[in-house]
Amino acid sequence: MAAEMEPPPLGDAGQTDFREIEDGEGFFVSTVTILESPEPSSPDPPSMPAEGISTNGPKQEDISLDDDPEDLFAEATEEVSLDSPEREPILSDGPSPAITPVTPTAMLTPRMGLGTAEMFERSLDELEEDESGDTFDMHIAVSDPEKVGDGMNAYMGYKVTTKTSMTIFSKNETTVRRRFSDFLGLHSKLASRYLHIGYIVPPAPEKSIVGMTKVKVGKEDLSSAEFVEKRRSALERYLMRTVKHPILLKDPDVMMFLESSELPRAVSTQALSGAGILRMVNKAADAVNKMTIKMNESDAWFEEKHQQFENLDLQLRKLHASVECLVCHRKELSVNTASFAKSAAMLGNSEDHTALSRALSQLAEVEEKIDQLHQDQAYADFYLFSELLGDYVRLITAVKGVFDHRMKTWSKWQDTQLLLQKKREAESKLQFANKPDKLQQAQDEIKELEGKVQQGEKDFELISKTIRKEVSRFEKERVKDFKVVIIKYLESLVQTQQQLIKYWEAFLPEAKAIA
């Protein structure tokens, strides 16, 4: 499946389109239904970068216009009905092998359990459970990194296996191959769609020019293997986090990503592409704006939360740095233990007292085993602890971004309000100037602006509400995540200690046997 075929151009919004993709061997035929969603006129569609439009005509963000939460999930049910009959079975390549991810993803307790949270609006809560009728049960594994192609155009292909019992998916188990830019493309689509309305979209793993170049060049050494493993694990965590989000899970792009065997190449994720440059410019503009907007925070909750996240950010960064230090030192310890083991063995060899010589050789062996233990521990340190912290540092950046979007929404609303006021003043002036057509024009404009102001207010309220929900969800997830990981980590420490006991207890009689 190395060749990627250009899919035929997709239809516009409002049409259901089929996309047929055939791969080289002609085994697969998959159809993807593009969703249609009722589209109330949106007076102020947020700006969308170019790539978002190509695969999904209808603007998902219109959902945000519906204040009524019912509609949100009405869409979802509509999705389900559109999907199931029209999808043809997607043939997967053979039985999915049992994939044991390196960092086993904890199976979450069913969503039902979260019903205890009074902070959720009751109706929304119920709907969340009703939506698919089943509990959250998804398991995504990213595995089998394989280098595809050669030279500078080479890339790593990863196998993405989805195991689920949820009804919104057409199959219980799907396997597809994806490359890194596919993940980035998915993320940028989700971000453009959801970030500005207040949803915390999990950030994708970072690009790494150095790492990838090494892989491309074909250096088969330890560091590039480590890099690939790190990336693989990060991609897995990214996907799991994305699907854990109830809204993002429903996103057709996500489903397409998980299920369709071919995806259009997401070229706009390249750093030097046009979209990339646009992104950079936008980022700079945002940074300037943030400094100039001074928001009147009427809601103390947001103020408090904002501060909380700032602190959390600091703490996590500090912790992350410490843990990285720990990983480094443990690796060092492992190296030193190994070198000591070697020299102890040599010492044992040159020792002429036989029992002592044997004991020293035993000591060397013990130390060697311990070195392996330390290596494993370092591995655990890193993959469990350090990567989790890194993920959360990035997540918090996304959270802060969401808060910023709220500020922007507020500011837009305020601006529109100011504009309205000015127009009103202008109108009242015109009233006295007796210019009927200009007056009419002004009055039309005012009506329009009034609508806009109302919209702005609604937007702002909606984003505030969404953020509240999101933040509480985020907090819950965070606590769960940390708890799971920390327990695992402590378990690994305990296990190390147990092994140490075994090794030293085996050594002790040898030492005692020295006569």
Interface positions with another protein (CB under 8 A): 116-119, 312, 315-316, 318-319, 322-323, 325-326, 329-330, 332-333, 336-337, 339-340, 343-344, 346-347, 350-353, 355-356, 359-360, 363, 475-476, 479, 482-483, 486-487, 490, 493-494, 497-498, 500-501, 504-505, 507-508, 511-512, 514
CB of 292 vs another protein, minimal distance in Å:
31
Query: What is the distance between the alpha carbons of residues 409 and 302, in angstroms, rounded to a whole number?
Result: 14
Cα 367 versus chain centre, distance? 41
CB of 386 vs another protein, minimal distance in Å:
11
Query: What is the distance between the alpha carbons of residues 315 and 309, in angstroms, rounded to a whole number?
Result: 10
Cβ–Cβ < 8 Å for 242, 281: no
Which CB atom, from 346 or from 418, has the smaller least distance to another protein? 346
CB of 496 vs another protein, minimal distance in Å:
8
Which CB atom, from 295 or from 355, has the smaller least distance to another protein? 355
CB of 193 vs another protein, minimal distance in Å:
28
Which CB atom, from 109 or from 172, has the smaller least distance to another protein? 109
Secondary structure element (H or E) that encloses residue 161, with its range:
strand 155-164
Residue 378 burial by Cβ neighbours in a 10 Å radius (0-12, 13-18, 19+): buried
Which CB atom, from 412 or from 488, has the smaller least distance to another protein? 488
Which CB atom, from 318 or from 422, has the smaller least distance to another protein? 318
Cα 378 versus chain centre, distance? 25
CB of 356 vs another protein, minimal distance in Å:
5
Scan for tokens 């000015």, then name that residue.
422
Query: What is the distance between the alpha carbons of residues 243 and 24, in angstroms, rounded to a whole number?
Result: 31
Which CB atom, from 184 or from 389, has the smaller least distance to another protein? 389
Which CB atom, from 4 or from 299, has the smaller least distance to another protein? 299
Which CB atom, from 371 or from 404, has the smaller least distance to another protein? 371
Scan for tokens 């102001």, then name that residue.
453
CB of 477 vs another protein, minimal distance in Å:
11
Cβ–Cβ < 8 Å for 31, 20: yes
Q: What angle do CA 476, 482, 486 make, to 5 degrees?
A: 150
Query: What is the distance between the alpha carbons of residues 29 and 199, in angstroms, rounded to a whole number?
Result: 34
CB of 365 vs another protein, minimal distance in Å:
13
CB of 205 vs another protein, minimal distance in Å:
24
- Beta bridge mates, 158: 178
Query: What is the distance between the alpha carbons of residues 368 and 372, in angstroms, rounded to a whole number?
Result: 7
Which CB atom, from 91 or from 490, has the smaller least distance to another protein? 490
Q: Where are the alpha helices (DSSP H) in 245-299?
A: 246-250, 252-259, 274-292
Query: What is the distance between the alpha carbons of residues 340 and 380, in angstroms, rounded to a whole number?
Result: 23
Query: What is the distance between the alpha carbons of residues 472 and 478, in angstroms, rounded to a whole number?
Result: 10
Three-state SS for 55-66 is: HCCCCHHHHHHC
CB of 466 vs another protein, minimal distance in Å:
18
